[in-house]
């Protein structure tokens, strides 16, 4: 499961955009991780419990429309009913949007650790549950099915969505400059229209599954995307997620410095200096050993990955009920809204005081973020 050089759940060659043809099958992969029962810590999290641990606000006006980008897999109503009934929440509104002929297609590959259905379920369940905790209202979710992330982001922008969650990606080297710039252009247009874009920073530590010890993941490395890294959170502490400490190629929070988007943006206040844009910007619990309780194929599973972090933030920011657009500079100017993670490493980089290329600014203090971004009542 730690070897992500090619994910069987990813789209095959016929589904890849032309700029990715050299990467082979599954070059873009989902960032979710299941965990065997024997590896579970004594603490896993329901989404409402994790929100409470992150001091989630309650009673917000809400109204934000959540876009979720998916490249493969699918979801079922029965899974959603089981999950939301289990946490005493109503079903969200879920609408499927086919961007290019790709569609909701659950494959029912029970037990496959790379099953993209696990990604899809995780995205919907985390985003909607986080939104409900903050608002007391069912979420409005639009699922954008596509083979091209940039095209899906543009479709969500056109439809007026308020936040967008992306849990798929690949090492920058697999994209190249033309494709990377296309992602950034789509994200720039999205934020100009008021949509906040969140993306997972990857689950293979600082290597991102690439050939070197330090690589970063797209779309998270695009400057107008909020990159979402991972922590290992228990009730007692929170550290960088890295199941293979000191190694750059294990399972853990992706992060580092872009070689595509240079120089480093001036708004990354207080961050260690690097050649280009630092990733991630923010973080939250992602270690599958302290993972999220979700329902996939009728079974409760314990999962993690930085792909849980993007929808967690998307659910919170949709609860603010206003178009916020390019929020990243404001995040860096308000680090008090985050729990600074100072212990751990992701291989090539170590956590420290202030922003770092393991967990960015840190994990959310939801009430402070609400005070910063939510409209005054």
Query: Which ranges in 170-277 belong to alpha helices (H)?
Result: 172-192
39 to 4, 47, 306: CA distances (angstroms) = 20, 20, 18
Query: Which ranges in the chain belong to alpha helices (H)?
Result: 47-53, 77-86, 116-135, 149-158, 172-192, 309-318, 328-332, 366-373
123 has catalytic annotation: yes
307 has catalytic annotation: yes
DSSP three-state, residue 164: strand
Question: Catalytic: which of 7, 167, 207, 307?
Answer: 307
Question: Catalytic: which of 123, 148, 208, 356?
Answer: 123
Question: Catalytic: which of 119, 148, 208, 217?
Answer: 119
Judge whether 270 and 191 are in contact, CB under 8 Å.
no
Judge whether 249 and 239 are in contact, CB under 8 Å.
no
119 has catalytic annotation: yes
* Side-chain half-sphere exposure of 137, counting CA atoms within 13 A: 17
DSSP three-state, residue 360: strand
Sheet containing 217-218: order of strands: 29-30, 168-171, 217-218
Judge whether 104 and 96 are in contact, CB under 8 Å.
yes
Residues annotated as catalytic (active site), given as ranges: 119, 123, 307
């Amino acid at each position: 499961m730690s070897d992500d050089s090619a994910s069987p759940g990813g789209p095959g060659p016929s589904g890849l955009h032309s700029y990715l043809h050299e990467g082979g099958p599954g070059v873009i992969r989902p960032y979710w991780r299941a965990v065997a029962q024997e590896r579970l810590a004594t603490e896993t999290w329901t989404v409402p419990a994790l929100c409470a641990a992150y001091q989630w606000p309650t009673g917000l006006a809400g109204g934000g429309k959540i876009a979720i980008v998916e490249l493969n897999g699918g979801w079922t109503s029965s899974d959603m009913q089981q999950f939301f009934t289990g946490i005493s929440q109503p079903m969200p509104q879920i609408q499927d949007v086919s961007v290019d002929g790709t569609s909701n297609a659950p494959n029912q590959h029970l037990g496959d650790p790379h099953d993209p259905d696990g990604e899809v379920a995780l995205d919907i369940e985390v985003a909607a549950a986080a939104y409900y905790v903050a608002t007391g209202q069912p979420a409005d979710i639009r699922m954008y099915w596509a083979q091209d992330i940039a095209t899906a982001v543009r479709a969500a922008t056109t439809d007026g969505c308020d936040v967008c969650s992306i849990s798929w990606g690949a090492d920058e080297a697999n994209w190249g400059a033309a494709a990377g710039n296309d992602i950034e252009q789509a994200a720039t247009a999205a934020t100009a229209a008021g949509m906040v874009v969140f993306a997972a920073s990857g689950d293979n530590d600082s290597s991102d599954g690439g050939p070197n010890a330090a690589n970063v993941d797209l779309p998270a490395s695009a400057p107008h995307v909020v990159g979402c890294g991972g922590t290992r959170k228990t009730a007692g502490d929170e550290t960088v997620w890295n199941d293979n400490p000191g190694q750059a190629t294990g399972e853990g929070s992706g992060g580092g410095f872009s070689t595509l988007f240079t120089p480093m943006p001036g708004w990354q206040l207080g961050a260690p200096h690097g050649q280009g844009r630092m990733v991630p910007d923010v973080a939250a619990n992602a270690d599958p050993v302290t993972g999220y309780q979700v329902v996939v194929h009728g079974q409760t599973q314990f999962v993690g990955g930085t792909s849980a972090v993007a929808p967690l933030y998307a659910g919170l920011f949709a609860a603010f009920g206003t178009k916020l657009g390019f929020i990243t500079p404001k995040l860096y100017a308000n680090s008090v809204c985050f729990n600074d993670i100072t212990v751990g490493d992701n291989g090539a980089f170590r956590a420290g005081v202030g922003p770092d290329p393991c967990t960015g600014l840190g994990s959310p203090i939801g009430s402070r973020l609400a005070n910063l971004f939510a409209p005054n009542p």
